[in-house]
Structure 1
Amino acid sequence: MRRPAAPLLAVLLAVAAALLAGPAAPAEARTAAAAAPRPVILVHGYNADPGVWGSLETRLRAAGHGDGRIFRWGYDTHQSVNEVLAGRFAAYVDEVRRRTGADRVDVVAHSFGSLPTRWYVKYGGGTSTVAHWISLAGPNHGTGVAWACALWDQACRDMTPGSWVQKRLAEGDETPGEVAYTTFWSNCDEVINPDDSVPLNGAANHPAGCLDHNALLGDATVGAGVVAALAS
Structure 2
Amino acid sequence: MLPWRRALRALTAALIVAGAATLTPTATAAEPRIATTSEAPAAPSSSGWNDYGCKPSAAHPRPVVLVHGTFGNSVDNWLVLGPYLVKRGYCVFSLDYGQLPHVPFFHGIGPIDKSAEQLDGYVDKVLNATGAKEVDLVGHSQGGLMPRHYLKFLGGADKVNALVGLAPDNHGTTLLGLTKLLPFFPGIEDLLTTATPALADQIAGSPFLTRLNAGGDTVPGVRYTVISTKYDQVVTPYRSQFLNGPNVRNVVVQDLCPVNLAEHVAIGTLDRVAHHEVANALDPAHATPSTCLS
1:177-222 residue CA offsets vs partner (Å, 9 max, x unmatched): 1111000111111111111111100220000224211111211111
1:83-102 residue CA offsets vs partner (Å, 9 max, x unmatched): x1111110111111111111
1: CA distance, partners of 2:230 / 2:71? 22
Q: Find the structure with the greater CA-based Rg.
A: 1
Report what 2:110 is aligned to: 79
Whichever structure has more helix as a proportion of its residues is 1
2: CA distance, partners of 1:140 / 1:100? 30
1: CA distance, partners of 2:233 / 2:56? 41
| Structure 1 stretches of 4+ moved >3 Å | 146-151
TM-score normalised according to structure 1 size: 0.80
- What is the deviation of 1:155? 0.6
Q: Kindly indicate whether residue 279 of structure 2 is the aligned counterpart of residue 227 of structure 1.
A: yes
Q: Kindly indicate whether residue 201 of structure 2 is the aligned counterpart of residue 158 of structure 1.
A: yes
Identify unmatched segments of 5+ residues in structure 1: 1-31
AA matched with 2:170: N
Q: Which of the numbers 207, 214, 219 marks the counterpart of 1:171?
A: 214
Report what 1:19 is aligned to: none
1: CA distance, partners of 2:144 / 2:221? 18
Q: Kindly indicate whether residue 250 of structure 2 is the aligned counterpart of residue 205 of structure 1.
A: yes
Q: Is the 8 Å Cα contact of residues 59 and 227 (structure 1) preserved in structure 2?
A: no
Identify unmatched segments of 5+ residues in structure 2: 1-54, 100-107, 183-187, 255-260, 285-294
Q: Kindly indicate whether residue 158 of structure 2 is the aligned counterpart of residue 128 of structure 1.
A: yes
User: Per the alignment, do residues 47 and 33 of structure 1 end up closer, same or farther by CA in structure 2, a change over 3 Å counting?
Assistant: closer
1: CA distance, partners of 2:233 / 2:82? 24
- What is the deviation of 1:57? 1.7
Q: What root-mean-square deviation, in Å, do the aligned CA atoms of Structure 1 and Structure 2 show?
A: 1.7
- What is the deviation of 1:62? 2.5
Percent identity of the aligned residues? Answer: 35
Q: Kindly indicate whether residue 118 of structure 2 is the aligned counterpart of residue 88 of structure 1.
A: yes
Alignment of 1:25-174 (within 5 A): 35=58, 36-50=60-74, 51-65=76-90, 69-75=91-97, 76=99, 77-82=108-113, 84-145=114-175, 147=179, 150=189, 151-152=191-192, 153-174=196-217
- What is the deviation of 1:33? 5.3
Q: Secondary structure at the match of 1:197?
A: helix
Q: Is the 8 Å Cα contact of residues 56 and 63 (structure 2) preserved in structure 1?
A: no
1: CA distance, partners of 2:211 / 2:239? 18
Q: Secondary structure at the match of 2:80?
A: helix
AA matched with 2:219: P
Q: Secondary structure at the match of 2:164?
A: strand
Report what 2:105 is aligned to: none
Q: Secondary structure at the match of 1:92?
A: helix
